[in-house]
Amino acid sequence: MMNKSNKNASIDGIGSIPGGEYDVVSVDGIGKIKGKVICNELKADGLLKILIVAEVLAVKV
């Protein structure tokens, strides 16, 4: 399941999001980011695969 609002994106369970600009990207489960992503914060609890380029200011694992 992917939710995107107010420039935030989240994956809960298994899912993917397209590249883009986000404030916060969070993954709780298994997720893929398909394309260039720019975000202020990346939170991952589980498995995250980024298929292209990521420009991240902070990572929380």
Query: How far are the Cα atoms of 25, 45, 47 from residue 61, in angstroms, in the given order?
Result: 12, 6, 10
pLDDT averaged over the chain? 84
> What is the extent of the structural domain holding 23?
2-60
Give the pLDDT confidence of 35-60 residue by residue, as tens digits: 888 899 999 999 988 876 667 777 77
- Which pLDDT does position 45 carry in this prediction? 93
Quote the number of domains for the chain. Answer: 1
Closest of 6, 35, 5 to residue 19, by C-alpha:
35
- Provide the pairing of β-strand 59-60 with 8-50: parallel
